[in-house]
A and B are shown apart, each in its own frame.
Chain A
């Protein structure tokens, strides 16, 4: 399992700039380029659904309050072809998500990159902003 995960990360990073990622909707219409965010939290679940996968995090504020965040990833097909597997991100995994905030929901974003606590990074399959 661990080996598979490491392999998947390598493949994801290798292919992230080589494979054009499709999208059925306008990224710029849904997310705000003026609101880049980096959110650190703990995975509660990952939903492998169409047309996009979603990553759910619990994020603890400075005062200890837990906020529930949702991050959109690429389509399940694209993630699969880039090496992602259902087992890759388990509940309880601590990580940081770099992405852009929704135009309408303060706890929804689009994930561009995911960084694990040991420094490894995953490409999330979303259209890459300039």
Chain B
């Protein structure tokens, strides 16, 4: 546990220093334009400099990773699954049934995001822009997110993962460089997060390997491979680009006034009441 504590504390000063250096968001927040193509930025040690604010180019992913058309309250998505080649999640049969259940109105309350919990992986990586910092020995991701601020601290010193008994919303991430690609392996996920509002699933056995490859000074190719034998019949991958923006993090205090949660609870309770009043109907 000592290593875990050290990991939490060491980059803090660097993170705070970087945050304090951010200029007021008012002007910049309104100009989220990507700059023209430029060379890959480099740190003093020659490694790519990924620092800055990036937006995931994954519209609709938070409503389903497969290709889907627009429905009521659901923007269309072009699909981001690059493996398998059919673009479909290779779900176990039980997972297909669970996913179908999760899109019923009364299950909206069950999405941890509605309760403002962290989004987990890879959902954190496509639900809004985020800031990348590179203090010595680490890559730090700061998420504004739609569920409130969260972060990932990725150690680059070759340390092992946290013990198996440790289960975290954002998991335990370690990384290394392969040429210009930052490779990040995340384990110790708690399996509670949903992948999106379509109810796509991961479990406590989820393992994620991400590859972040800058192709110029303003664009990072992002690919994540998810292995989760409890839910899926084989590993699968998503891919999209991250584009640099002049935007900056803004506060999202998700639990400040989460009236939606009470409304969703009422929907769930009403469905349960209906189900109990109709013998033979399966309720949840």
A65 on interface, CB distance cutoff 8 Å: no
Would you list which residues of chain B between 88 and 105 have a CB under 8 Å from chain A? 103-105
The chain A residue sitting closest to B253, CB to CB, is A50
Nearest CB in chain B: distance from A6 CB, A: 16
CA distance in complex: A54, B263 (Å)? 14
A28 and B72 contacting across the interface, CB-CB below 8 Å: yes
From A81, which residue of chain B is reached at the shortest CB distance? Answer: B29
Chain B residues whose CB sits within 8 angstroms of the CB of A54 once the complex forms? 257, 259
Does A86 lie at the interface of the complex (its beta carbon under 8 Å from any beta carbon of B)?
no
Find out whether the CB atom of A30 lies under 8 angstroms from the CB atom of B30: no
Chain A positions 37 through 56: 1 when the CB is less than 8 Å from some CB of chain B, otherwise 0: 00000000001011110100
Contacting B at CB under 8 A, from A103-130, are 103-105, 108, 127-130
Main SS class of interface, A: loop
B263–A26 CB distance below 8 A: no
Q: Write the chain A residue with the least CB distance to B32.
A: A81
Given A26-B111, A50-B253, A51-B252, decide whether A130 and B266 contact each other with a Cβ distance below 8 A.
no
Chain B residues near A128 (CB-CB < 8 A): 70, 75
Contact A103 B267, beta carbon cutoff 8 Å: yes
- Is the C-beta of A72 less than 8 angstroms from some C-beta in chain B? yes
| Most chain A beta-carbon neighbours within 10 Å: one of B30, B71, B255, B257 | B257
Residue-by-residue, is A3-44 near B (CB-CB < 8 Å gives 1, otherwise 0)? 000000001000000001011111111110100000000000
User: A103 and B256 in contact (CB under 8 A), knowing A23-B197, A26-B114, A29-B267?
Assistant: no
Interchain nearest-CB distance for A17 vs B (Å)? 11
Contacting B254 at CB < 8 Å: which of A33, A51, A129? Answer: A51
B253-275 contacts to A (CB < 8 Å): 253-261, 263-264, 266-267, 270
Q: Once the chains bind, are A24 and B146 in contact (CB under 8 Å)?
A: yes
Tell whether, in the assembled complex, residue B252 and residue A50 are in contact, meaning their CB atoms are under 8 Å apart.
yes
| Contact A47 B263, beta carbon cutoff 8 Å | no
Could you tell me the distance between the alpha carbons of A116 and B254 in the complex, rounded to whole angstroms?
29
Please name the residue on chain A nearest to B113 by beta carbon. Answer: A24
| CB of A53, distance to nearest CB on chain B (Å) | 9
Instruction: State the CA gap A22–B55 with chains docked (Å).
Output: 13
For chain B, which range describes its interface: under 10, 10 to 19, 20 to 34, or 35 or more residues? 35 or more
- Please tell me the size bucket of the interface on A: 35 or more
- Measured CA separation A52–B71 after assembly (Å): 22
- Bound Cα distance from A75 to B148, whole angstroms: 11
Contact A75 B259 (CB under 8 A): no
Q: Which residues in A have their C-beta under 8 angstroms from that of B172? A: none
B191 close to A (CB within 8 Å): no
**Which of B71, B72, B107, B251 has the most chain A CB atoms closer than 10 A to its own CB?**
B72
The answer to whether A80 touches B250 (Cβ under 8 A) is: yes
Q: Establish whether residues B116 and A24, one from each chain, have CB atoms under 8 Å apart when the complex forms.
A: yes
A77 and B74 form a contact (CB under 8 A)? no
A77-B144, A81-B29 given; A28·B263 CB < 8 A: no
**B218 interface residue, CB < 8 Å from A?**
no
B39: Cβ under 8 A from any A Cβ: no
Determine the distance from Cα of A83 to Cα of B144 in the docked complex, in whole angstroms: 19
A-B contact pairs, 15 of them (CB 8 A): A22-B128, A25-B113, A26-B73, A26-B197, A28-B74, A28-B108, A30-B108, A30-B263, A49-B257, A50-B148, A52-B257, A80-B29, A80-B250, A128-B70, A130-B70
